[in-house]
């Protein structure tokens, strides 16, 4: 099981956010545990870093041309596996997560989140990325540079577009369904958070998240936050959303998920390339949504 999130396979309705919760075996010295590359056409943001406290263990994150842009000198001083460190670092080409260990460590517990964004013109300008001629025209037309000089863009709200919130909670002693949702017509479902009772050893049970019949996350409960806390995510589903528990060792396992429902808007349908009715297309053309979505000012 890989530590990296498979960005291209998992992403369908960006912006989305996926977590990796897989223990890693570390040797004494430097360990590259996750490398992200080849995720075009998307831009990713590394955040949601959570660590098991180990004295003398060092973590470093490098992105694009910035080596060791994040360096945590001793993970014994972090908040622990139930919490997240306050880190948010975008990457346009690659990202590397690595540990330097004083000794070998078996099944080290850590977790990270990858937010996946579709690069609008505004986002590319903000990150200093090169624009195509058509994107330069949109930047001039919508005065992107002026807009960015007036205010800092708000950070991604993982619950954006959610109008109703629900919690699913289950206890299982064998593999089975935690919950399954058929998305109502004209709506979207958004998985927002996961947590579980943490077993005492790795590989005891896995939480599998399946969106529109495609598995997008496989999470070892050994690396998830306990039930009193959340690991935030954002997985959008238009057909169905399922969570299954894959139990490998005898025991009682508890899982909790937070999800929401919201209307599927015309702007989202344009953003995700979905089919529009003739009435919706007329609205989109009247409101110039195709250009506004591409520019990032919708």
Looking at residue 173, what is its pLDDT? 96
Helices (H), 131-277: 133-141, 144-150, 266-271
Give me 285's structure tokens.
Answer: 């053309």
pLDDT of 15 above 50:
yes
* 27, 83, 84, 260 from 75: Cα distances, Å: 16, 13, 12, 34
What confidence score (pLDDT) does residue 1 get?
47
Domain architecture of the chain: domains with CATH: 7-117 (2.60.120), 121-156+265-295 (no CATH), 165-263 (2.60.120)
**Could you report the per-residue pLDDT of 74-114, keeping only the tens digit for each?**
999 999 999 999 999 999 999 999 999 999 999 999 999 99
Q: Which two tokens stand for residue 16?
A: 């989305």
Q: In the prediction, which pLDDT does 240 show?
A: 98
pLDDT at 2: 63
- Mean pLDDT check: name the lowest of 95-104, 108-117, 126-135, 162-171: 126-135
CA dist 150 and 191 (Å) reads 33
pLDDT (average), residues 210-230: 96
Mean pLDDT for all residues in the chain: 95
Residue 221 has pLDDT above 80, yes or no: yes
Q: What is the mean pLDDT of residues 58-78?
A: 96
pTM of the model: 0.94
Using alpha carbons, list the distances in angstroms from residue 134 to 45, 139, 141, 197. Answer: 25, 9, 11, 51
- Give tens-digit pLDDT for 225-279: 999 999 999 999 999 999 999 999 999 999 999 999 999 999 999 999 999 999 9
Would the pLDDT of 6 be above 60? yes
């Amino acid at each position: 099981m890989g530590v990296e999130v498979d960005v291209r396979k998992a992403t369908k309705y960006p912006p989305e956010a996926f977590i990796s919760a897989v223990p890693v075996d570390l040797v004494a010295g430097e360990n590259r545990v996750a490398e992200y590359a080849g995720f075009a056409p998307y831009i990713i943001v590394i955040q949601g870093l959570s660590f098991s406290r180990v004295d003398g263990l060092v973590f470093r994150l490098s992105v694009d041309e910035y080596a060791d842009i994040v360096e945590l000198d001793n993970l014994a001083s972090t908040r622990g596996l139930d919490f997240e460190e306050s880190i948010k670092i975008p990457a346009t080409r690659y990202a590397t997560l690595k540990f330097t260990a004083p000794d070998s460590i078996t099944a080290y517990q850590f977790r990270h989140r990858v937010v996946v964004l579709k690069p609008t013109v505004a986002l590319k300008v903000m990150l200093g990325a090169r624009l195509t001629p058509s994107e330069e025209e949109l930047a001039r037309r919508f005065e992107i540079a002026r807009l960015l000089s007036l205010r800092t863009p708000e950070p991604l709200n993982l619950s954006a577009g959610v109008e109703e919130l629900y919690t699913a909670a289950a206890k299982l002693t064998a593999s089975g369904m935690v919950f399954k949702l058929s998305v109502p017509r004209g709506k979207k479902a958004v998985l927002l958070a996961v947590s579980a009772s943490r077993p005492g050893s790795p590989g005891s049970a896995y939480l599998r998240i399946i969106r529109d019949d495609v598995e997008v996350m496989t999470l070892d409960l050994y690396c998830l936050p306990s039930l009193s806390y959340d690991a935030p995510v954002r997985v959008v589903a238009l057909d169905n959303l399922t969570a299954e528990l894959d139990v490998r060792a005898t025991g009682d396992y508890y899982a909790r998920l937070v999800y929401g429902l919201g209307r599927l808007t015309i702007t989202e349908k344009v953003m995700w390339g979905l089919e529009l009715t003739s009435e919706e297309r007329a609205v989109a053309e009247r409101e110039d949504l195709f250009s506004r979505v591409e520019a990032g000012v919708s």
